[in-house]
Amino acid sequence: MARPRRGRRGGGGVSQVRDTVTVMRARVCSKVGCAREAVSTLTYDYADRMAAVGPLGAAGDPHAHDLCAIHTERLSVPQGWVVVRHETLRT
Ligand SMILES: [Zn+2]
């Protein structure tokens, strides 16, 4: 007589709700014609003529451009601009 155990209903003991799931959306390079995976985020600071490169930032920033490894290395900025590379970025 094997009777399955009765699940507790309404007890709130078992919760299947996972609200900590991180949505890992594939971020791709923002360069035209490049579909590589983005590894860094480039942010332009027009006021200071600075281009800051760092780890992938929050998505949706209109001033941030995601770059793949190649374009991160080949990053070129207009004359007079300074490129700031964050130390945490692995090269
Ligand atoms: Zn690229």
Question: Would you say how long the chain is, in residues?
Answer: 91
In this predicted structure, the answer to whether residue 21 has a pLDDT above a threshold of 80 is no
More confident: 15 or 63? 63
pLDDT band at 26 (very low <50, low <70, confident <90, very high): confident
Residues with CB under 5 A from ligand 1 (ion): 29, 31, 34, 36, 68, 71
Distance of alpha carbon 6 from the chain centroid: 44
Please state, in angstroms and as integers, the Cα–Cα distance from residue 11 to each residue in 4, 8, 24, 90, following that order.
18, 6, 33, 48
From the CA of 80, how far away is ligand 1's center (Å)?
23
Tokens for 91, please give them: 């090269």
Question: Considering Cα of 25, then 26, then 29, then 30, what sign does the dihedral take?
Answer: negative
**Where along the chain do its domains lie?**
38-85
pLDDT in tens, 31-89: 999 999 999 999 989 999 999 999 998 777 888 999 999 999 999 898 999 999 986 54
Do the bridges between strand 64-68 and strand 38-45 make them parallel or antiparallel, or are there none, so unpaired? antiparallel
